[in-house]
Chain A
Amino acid sequence: MVLDDLGSSLRGTLDTLRGKSRISEEDVDKVVKEIQRSLLQADVDVDLVMDLSESITERSLEEEPPGGTSARDHVLRIVYEELVGLVGDSTPIPLEEQTIMLAGLQGSGKTTTAAKMAWWFSKKGLRPAIVQTDTFRPGAYEQAAEMADRAEVDFYGEPDSDDPVQIARDGLAATADADVHIVDTAGRHALEDDLIAEIEEIEGVVEPDRSLLVLDAAIGQGAKQQARQFDASVGIDGVAITKLDGTAKGGGSLTAVNETDSTIAFLGSGETVQDIERFEPDSFISRLLGMGDLKQLTERVERAMEETQDDDEDWDPEDLMKGEFTLHDMQKQMQAMDNMGPLDQVMDMIPGMGGGLMDELPDDAMDVTQERMRGFEVIMDSMTEAEMADPRSVGASQIRRIARGSGQPEDRVRELLDQHKMMAQTMQQFQGMGDGDMQRMMSKMQQQGGGGGGGFGGMF
């Protein structure tokens, strides 16, 4: 994730301030050096890093901490505010008819991002269409067509044309029925004058409501020059960061938003069309400072619940909030959890679970947990309808039968029953909350010590 190392190193440095009420120049110097280091390692522009660290130093020493505030909280607040100021808001993307043009360097991931964004819009109830204007790179048409197919959205391209401007014009006309037009362009870089002129021409025809710069998370200091040139040519309204599932930190995006006076719109983190998220500054900063990412977790949970529900009309997650919590419910919850994506990604968003705590877990902890969940699924498949509805009735002989039937050890079956019991108790606590508002549920869990990974708290 963007800058996630800053989170842990910053927490470490800030911890040295714990218990101090006054802050010395030396303390601030140490914190600022750490921040500089993290930001530079994240590929944030050097000048930008200097500016940022200067204002943190200045404010930490000059501003009087409000009464009762510890030195640590004082500095933390300043760092938070400065980072929020740097990152800015998320690029506004209204859910209405619009045309979006994508621009960026070769290989930054424009075509994949176009398909992901189209998928995102379609999930929001709009009808998107992708117009592919890359006539240069061999195979670009086929790639875009297939990605559009995977995203199940409209597509326009001309495999044999060599006039991107004409394709853009024809494409918009041919997909006039669509609500959202996403215009993909060929990769180019700031120093290719003829290609820069070409994208200016495409922009003239397309008249996009917003142009997004697609940036590889791994881009280095060159991000500044590239962003500046694209902004001067077509006007950049937002940045989409790609390949965040690697180890690159994406600091180039901060440089780019600073340079183009724009904001971050989307984050891409995988090869399937679903691997896209809206950028949320709150989430971003919270996660950065090790405070979890409630908002994104909530969105993921809700999306996963809907998907699970789509698969099975009879099941409503709201039912969890009333009546008996059965193994059926647990099975659904596990499916929903599965739909949320890889467990470690999800865990990273849970307050108290991400950052520091994740660092302490063994590397394969998530795999082990996921493995266990698979085991549970197999076991549940071997249980009868009555057992699923009333797991408390399952006795020793049934456990033996289920273990044999599922090929799982008896202990694993008992574990499942214990797990269910614990979850049933947890669910009972939540039933008093009225509606199934996930955000409230999550913040309630946070108050309960922050360590619980939802209903699956006992699994870790």
Chain B
Amino acid sequence: MFDGLKDKLSNFREDAEEVAEENAEELADQPDDEAADTEAAAADSAPEDAPATADAAAPATEPAGEQPDADDEESSAGFVSRAASMARGRVVIDEADLEAPLRELEFALLESDVEMSVVEEILDQIRGDLVGEERKFTESTDTLIEDALREALLSVIDVGQFDLVDEIESASKPVTIVFTGVNGVGKTTTIAKLARYLESEGFSSVLANGDTYRAGANQQIEEHAEALGVKCITHEQGGDPTAVVYDAVEYADANDVDVVLGDTAGRLHTSDDLMSQLEKLDRVVDPDVTVFVDEAVAGQDAVNRAREFDEASAVDGTILTMADADSQGGAAISVSHVTGKPILFLGTGQAYEDLEPFDPDALVDDLLAASDD
């Protein structure tokens, strides 16, 4: 789903690299062509060699992936200075030179549905990493740009990733998972998919239909339950969603079921009474995990919703649906940034199997792989 963003990022990299390259030529110690060639050839093995040859001077080649907890200050002072000991050349990038590529990046991110304030944060970080002070670089100026981009992306998207299955494994049973989100994002379908996924991981589950509002909601989830061969607890339409989930937990307790998957009615975050209903559910049921569900095609508003839902019932992780319908992927970046909680899965189709665990490192690697081709 991130192909669009990938293409656009590579444009920025080319332009920014050009800027860095131009500046580097003015300042670097003009290594002759031959030397540059041999060093470039040697560069392939550099990542493995680096820690060994320069362990005292901090590892130069593994940026944020290793340290998701690094705070902003640290990351923006960042990797470039850590790379200093390996220097092959020097570069000072002038802010004015970088403005055009950065503006291009700004629009690339906006076009990919990354929310505006998140875009600004990414740009600020890259600007802070690249502009001004003299930078030394090891292989070529290209890595400066790539690393700056990688660092900036990871800092917004890599927020304490955890494995849901591990969580369930180690928690006392039954584990209660409640799903929240606005209307029509695919909460019920996601629950059905997750029930299938958990089954394949060896966990039993029971569904609870906390959507006592929408017409046809009981029929929808009951059909899923039947197809999946799991028990489903429902109440009459108009009932109390908290009571439904509560009943399901009791059922799971009595029947040794591992996981309770609690659906809720879709609600717009502007609906005060429905949001306080959600707060009540959160208070009374006290779920082990609250999963916020949103659709990958959502635009700028994804941030507002995520924030409001997080406030009503603290979100532990997000599942983005309809990832197969979207080539942008910006919603993933915005939502994980604003909730400070990871994307757990992507929904990628209409079949029960279409649920993929999300891996931010792999995603960023993939996004940055484009221009290496």
Stretch at the interface among B59-67, B93-101, B110-118, B243-251: B110-118
Interface residues in A140-158 by Cβ distance below 8 A to B read 140-147, 150
Q: Is B357 an interface residue (CB 8 A)?
A: no
Known: A138-B220, A189-B322. Is A143-B299 also a contact (CB below 8 A)?
no
A38 to B186, CA, bound (A): 29
Whether the pair B220, A43 counts as a contact (CB closer than 8 A) is no
* Residues in A whose Cβ lies below 8 Å from that of B24: none
A190 to B184 alpha-carbon distance, docked (Å): 17
Given contact pairs A107-B184, A243-B268, A139 touches B221 in the complex (Cβ within 8 A): yes
Q: Is the CB of A220 within 8 A of B297?
A: yes
Contacts of B328 in A (CB 8 A): 220-222
Q: Scoring A residues 94 to 126 as 1 if CB is less than 8 Å from chain B, else 0, what string do you get?
A: 000000000001111100000000000000000
Q: Does B11 contact A (CB under 8 A)?
A: no
Min C-beta distance of A362 to chain B, whole Å: 15
- Given A41-B300, A189-B325, A222-B297, A109 and B220 contact (CB-CB distance below 8 Å): no
Contacts of B214 on A, CB cut-off 8 Å? 143
Residues 332-373 of B at the A interface (beta carbon under 8 Å) = 350
Residue B129 is within 8 A (CB to CB) of chain A in the complex:
no
B residues 212-255 with Cβ under 8 Å of A? 214-224, 227
Number of residues of chain A lying within 8 A (CB) of chain B: 47
For the side of the interface on B, what is the size category? 35 or more
Q: How many Å from the CB of A107 to the closest CB on chain B?
A: 3
- List chain A residues, Cβ under 8 A from B110: 40, 46, 221
Within 8 A of B (CB), among A384-442: none
Report the nearest B residue to A252, measured CB to CB.
Answer: B299
CB distance from A212 to the nearest CB of B (A): 17
Known contacts A139-B218, A221-B328; decide if A106 and B299 are in contact (CB<8 Å).
no
Given A107-B185, A219-B297: A139 touches B217 (CB 8 Å cut-off) = yes
Residue among A105, A150, A192, A248 with max Cβ neighbours from chain B (10 Å): A248
Contact B301 A248 (CB under 8 A): yes
| Cβ distance A150 to chain B, nearest Cβ, rounded Å | 8
Q: A139-B221, A143-B215, A146-B215 are in contact. Are A108 and B184 (CB under 8 A)?
A: yes
| Inter-chain contact B182/A220, CB cutoff 8 Å | no
- Is A249 at the interface (CB under 8 A from chain B)? yes
Option from A137, A141, A145, A251 in Cβ contact (under 8 Å) with B299? A251
Q: Can you name 20 extra interface pairs (CB under 8 A) apart from A146-B216, A248-B299? A: A40-B116, A40-B300, A43-B300, A43-B301, A105-B325, A106-B184, A107-B183, A139-B216, A139-B223, A142-B220, A192-B325, A192-B350, A219-B298, A220-B297, A220-B328, A222-B113, A222-B297, A222-B328, A247-B301, A248-B304
Q: Can you name 15 A-B residue pairings with CB atoms under 8 Å?
A: A41-B116, A46-B110, A107-B322, A137-B220, A139-B221, A143-B217, A146-B216, A190-B325, A192-B325, A216-B297, A220-B302, A221-B111, A222-B326, A243-B182, A245-B270
